[in-house]
Amino acid sequence: MTEPILSVRDLEIAYRTGRKESVTAVTGVDLDLYEGQSLALVGESGCGKTTLGLGLLRLLPGPGRITSGSLVYRLKDGTRADLLTMGKEPLRRFRWNEAAMVFQGAMNAFNPVIRIVDHFADTLRDHSGGKRWTKQAVERRAGELLEAVRLDPDRVLPSFPHELSGGMKQRALIALAIALNPQVLVLDEPTTALDLLTQRQIVQQLHELRRQFGFTMVFITHDLGLAAELADRVATMYAGRIIETGSARDIFHAPKHPYTAGLINAVMPVKDAVPASGATPRLESIPGYPPSLKAMPDGCAFHPRCAFATEECKAAPVALEVLAERPDGMTHAAACLHHDRVRLERKTAGGQAASAEKEPTNV
């Protein structure tokens, strides 16, 4: 393990909402991403995960702006560059060459009036820093990529987006994102809105592509199952902050933030043999709703919904605290004063969490 491929320090992203007003969507994010790892950003709608993902490539839309922090990448040539001070032309070369993004909503990410092959041509020509791409070269490269995601190039390349199914579009979009061999791939909700069997296929292909191309992966999802399936590391976001981070095993077997535990407790495992002997299962939801960015609670933003909240939680924001050192930057850290009281409701297949020690929860 050498130096990280991406170091994010104290990143803050805000959206302007009026002439002098803005809301902060992401605050105080520190993140080190190591080569070949996959990191899942999980959380509910509005927690800032997509904003952070877009921010990693400086792809924020209009009113969004990175207001402070640093985003240092280790480039393919070994040099280090801060994305926030990069000029327009270097930034264009950076995108897709060094880091690429698979946008949310496979259904709408393609231009509907442009054939798939021309999407590849545009991407290859725009981001190659002046390198010439002949029609044949584009078709050859696009063909290789489509075959890597198990699509038939002869069928897909001449098609318009509407002629492809949702799963095919998502796979073509992934192929397009890795067209220039980026080191880092950011995927925003890569399986949302796809059918179960198609989701499974995308998951399997992402595993294969990582093996084949060796990229580092950041994916954004609200689906904890997907995170458990694809991630080496998980970072839970709430109200614009990373509130827990650790290896997938640490997070899913022994979460240390009540919000992470609440999310896991709210999902019914399908294959797991719970509940035993015909008892009716009962899941608990997290009471209340996430806070508005415009009216953030004082202290820990989760305290109004938290069963463990004390006066201390309301007083000051809680910083991430390292709870267990692990190799490869997989350190388990949580931003909770009561992390030692957090338990999962149920037994997990590999975890030690015992339901006997169940803490009282809100009903």
Binding mask 7-46 for other proteins (x = CB under 8 A): -------------------------------------xx-
Integer Cα distance of 157 and 134 in angstroms: 15
Question: From the list 141, 249, 326, 341, which residue makes contact with other proteins (rule: CB under 8 A)?
Answer: 249
Q: Give the dihedral sign, CA 80/91/328/354.
A: positive
Instruction: Write down the least CB distance from residue 37 to other proteins, Å.
Output: 14
Single-letter residue type at 212: Q
Instruction: Write down the least CB distance from residue 252 to other proteins, Å.
Output: 5
- For residue 305 the two structure tokens come to 């919904």
Instruction: Write down the least CB distance from residue 242 to other proteins, Å.
Output: 18
Q: Does 128 bind other proteins (CB under 8 A)?
A: no
Integer Cα distance of 86 and 333 in angstroms: 31
What residues from 139 to 198 belong to the interface with other proteins (CB under 8 A)?
A: 165, 167, 195-198
Instruction: Write down the least CB distance from residue 92 to other proteins, Å.
Output: 35
Single-letter residue type at 335: A
Question: From the list 227, 333, 336, 337, which residue makes contact with other proteins (rule: CB under 8 A)?
Answer: 227
**Cα 139 vs. chain centroid, distance in angstroms?**
31
Q: How far apart are the first and last CA of the chain?
A: 45
Q: Whose Cβ is closer to other proteins: residue 129's or residue 269's?
A: 269
Integer Cα distance of 287 and 280 in angstroms: 21
What residues from 260 to 289 belong to the interface with other proteins (CB under 8 A)?
A: 262-264, 266-273, 276-278, 280-281, 283-287, 289
Q: Does 244 bind other proteins (CB under 8 A)?
A: no
Burial environment of residue 273 by CB neighbours within 10 A (0 to 12, 13 to 18, 19 or more) = exposed
Instruction: Write down the least CB distance from residue 311 to other proteins, Å.
Output: 25
Is residue 72 within 8 A of residue 7, CB to CB? The reply is yes
Main-chain dihedrals φ then ψ at residue 345, nearest 5 degrees: -70, -35
Name the site residues for other proteins (rule: CB under 8 A).
Answer: 44-45, 165, 167, 195-201, 203-204, 222-229, 248-249, 252-253, 262-264, 266-273, 276-278, 280-281, 283-287, 289, 348-351
